[in-house]
Structure 1
Amino acid sequence: MQELIEKYLQAAKEKNIQALDDIFTEHAVYIESTGAIYNGLAQIKMWFEQVTAGGDVTAWDVKRIFDMGDTGVVEWYFEYQIAGADVFSFDGVSIVETENGKIKKWSEFAQTKDKTYPFEG
């Protein structure tokens, strides 16, 4: 699980769309933290190509992974530089389901990177 997740995050950093064939099943589902859903490898590749053309993933770092066989949970930190604009970043978690050594479902959840402590000093 860890190797597969890290392979995907590395592909995003390197804009390596060809690597997706070895990472996702043909009928994979990818759900972004924004709520956008991509059904099937062809749609995932279309989205990936669009995102990587518009900027650079400058960081997508694993904090920890919980491996439960065919399902895993990964906590991560993400940074993206939009061409000609500021960097935006956030913390996130993905629930990852696999089948035959590939990702069949990736569901993202995100929270702001800048945390607040309302009841502290």
Structure 2
Amino acid sequence: MEDIIRNYFQAWIDKKIDAVRETFSEDIVYVESHGPVYQGIDQVQRWFADWNRKGTVLRWDIKQIAIVDKTAFVEWFFRYEYEGNIGECDGVTIARFNDDMKICELKEFQSKSQHDYPYGKVW
């Protein structure tokens, strides 16, 4: 499962659309961190192609992966250029695998990559 996750993240950097069908089940439900939901492999593939026409993933660094049963929890840092704007965020992906070792459900959560310390930085 870890290799599947790593290969999928790398596919965004390489703009390798073939990875979508290699990674996800036909009935995938993919929830992006800012709200959009894609249902089924055709919608995920269309979104991947559309996004990569307008943008480029500059970095998608995996900080850690934990696997429990058939679910992977992935903490990451994401930096991108989209329609001429640079952005970045920290985030977490929860990916549930089916018996065929394809991801059948994926949810992303994000936070700002720049953090404030309202009471001062201790370490």
Shorter-normalised TM range: over 0.9
Within 2, Cα distance between the matches of 1:108 and 1:98?
15
Report the residue type matching 2:86 in the other structure.
V
Q: TM-score, length-normalised on structure 2?
A: 0.94
Within 2, Cα distance between the matches of 1:17 and 1:23?
10
Secondary structure of 1:20 counterpart:
helix
Within 1, Cα distance between the matches of 2:97 and 2:6?
14
Residue 106 in structure 1 maps to residue 102 in structure 2 = no
Aligned to 1:12: 12
Aligned to 1:28: 28
Within 1, Cα distance between the matches of 2:96 and 2:43?
18
Report the residue type matching 1:23 in the other structure.
T
Aligned to 2:51: 51
Shift of 1:55: 1.1
Aligned to 2:79: 79
Secondary structure of 1:95 counterpart:
strand
Report the residue type matching 2:40 in the other structure.
G
Shift of 1:86: 2.9
**Unpaired segments ≥5 residues, structure 2:** none
Within 2, Cα distance between the matches of 1:19 and 1:65?
19
Report the residue type matching 1:109 in the other structure.
F
Within 1, Cα distance between the matches of 2:87 and 2:94?
22
Secondary structure of 1:118 counterpart:
coil
Within 1, Cα distance between the matches of 2:25 and 2:114?
35
Aligned to 1:89: 88
Within 2, Cα distance between the matches of 1:82 and 1:28?
25
Shift of 1:69: 2.2
Within 2, Cα distance between the matches of 1:35 and 1:55?
18
Kindly report structure 1 stretches of 4+ aligned residues shifted beyond 3 Å: none
Cα deviations across residues 9-61 of structure 1 (Å, max 9, x unaligned)? 01111111112111000111100011100000000011111110101000011
- The percent identity for this pair of structures is 35
Secondary structure of 2:33 counterpart:
coil
